[in-house]
Amino acid sequence: MIEVINLTKSYKKLDVLNGISVKINDGEKVAVIGPSGSGKSTFLRCLNCLEDPTSGQIIFDGVDIADMKVNINIVRQKIGMVFQQFNLFNNKTVLENIMLAPVTIKVRQYRKNKLFNFFLPFTNIFRKNKLNKIELEQTKKEIIAAEKKNAFDLLSRIDLVDKANAYPATLSGGQKQRIAIVRTLAMNPKVILFDEPTSALDPEMVKEVLDLMKRIARRNISMIIVTHEMGFAKEVADKIIFMDEGKILEMGTPEEVFDNPKEARTKEFFSKVL
């Protein structure tokens, strides 16, 4: 479903990604491991259109999203991202954080469809226009009500319904990250990218976040997870990617990569982290 072909990224003279090629299937769970500075975050950021690749292709559902002409908003609806530092909106409540993107997008889509109909020939422009305003308000209300219900459903699944009206500053790191994760689920993405989701957490909160990720992993949703949690990677991932100096040095099943690493650099990395 995602095919990355010879992806490169350079900042001025610094080559950060040096030709990444990989296929990620529907529902596949991929763990990306490797030393600091090897380009793992840059790789994820390219997949989510947060960075423009220098060259190469990222084919997602048949469309090259590395091409500047694609609509980034449409891509981001389908590819969610979870960051090390949570990236919640601190001036919005938990509920607002979860609802904001889906409500905005659904209202925008509704307007767009209406506008399209408006320009169809032989329509009664005045009547349509007047209807639109009333309909738009009504539709907005319906969208907000549906997304509110969905947000409460998501919060109940992580036992945080009582935090719906709280602000992020009042939450623990583990709570913030679990909310950031269900916030991506509210968009119904096909893929979720995780960039070291537990690295900023106190040790006692790592488990609650990994447990939530394991529950999501049972669904038919693709997950690409940059992590230093090797036990978790081994348990959850179908495929392990070991990155070094902007390249995929080694790729295979957890058994292949963890139990029988082929490359000296991989062995050296494991000797430090396992």
Which residues contact Mg ion by CB under 5 A? 41
Which DSSP letter does residue 71 get? Answer: -
Nearest of 139, 136, 141, 148 to residue 98 by alpha carbon: 148
Shortest separation between residue 100's beta carbon and ligand ADP, angstroms = 26
- Return the number of the residue (6 or 85) whose C-beta is nearest Mg ion: 85
Is the Cβ of residue 39 or residue 53 nearer to ligand ADP in the bound state? Answer: 39
Q: Measuring CA to CA, how many Å separate 98 from each of 104, 128, 179?
A: 11, 33, 8
Q: Indicate which of ligand ADP, Mg ion, none lies near residue 42 (CB less than 5 to 8 Å, by partner kind).
A: ligand ADP
We find the least distance from the C-beta atom of residue 148 to ligand ADP, in angstroms, to be: 36
Q: Give the one entry of Mg ion, ligand ADP, none that residue 53 binds, where binding means its C-beta sits below a cut-off of 5 to 8 angstroms depending on kind.
A: none
When the beta carbons of 84 and 132 are compared against ligand ADP, the nearer one is 84
CB of 41 to Mg ion, least distance (A): 3
Which tokens in the block code for residue 53? Answer: 């690749």
Select 42 or 222, whichever has its Cβ closest to ligand ADP. Answer: 42
- 266 binding partner (options ligand ADP, Mg ion, none; Cβ < 5 to 8 Å by kind): none
In the list ligand ADP, Mg ion, none, the entry touching 11 (Cβ below 5 to 8 angstroms by class) is ligand ADP
* Beta carbon of residue 263, minimum distance to ligand ADP (angstroms, whole number): 17
Instruction: Give the shortest CB-186-to-Mg ion separation in angstroms.
Output: 25
Residue 60 and residue 209 in contact, taking contact as beta carbons nearer than 8 Å: no
Q: Which run of H or of E encompasses 38?
A: none
Three-state secondary-structure class, residue 139? helix
CA dist., res. 250 & res. 241, Å (int): 6
Q: Which of 164, 176, 141, 35 is nearest to 95 (CA)?
A: 164
For the bound state, the minimum distance from the C-beta of residue 226 to ligand ADP, rounded and expressed in Å, comes to 7
Q: Which residues are 224's β-sheet partners?
A: 30, 193
Contacts of 211 by beta carbon, 8 Å cutoff, 6+ apart:
none
Using CB under 6 A, list all residues that contact ligand ADP: 11, 14, 16, 36-42
CB 163 within 8 A of CB 194: no
Closest CB to ligand ADP among 4 and 185? 4
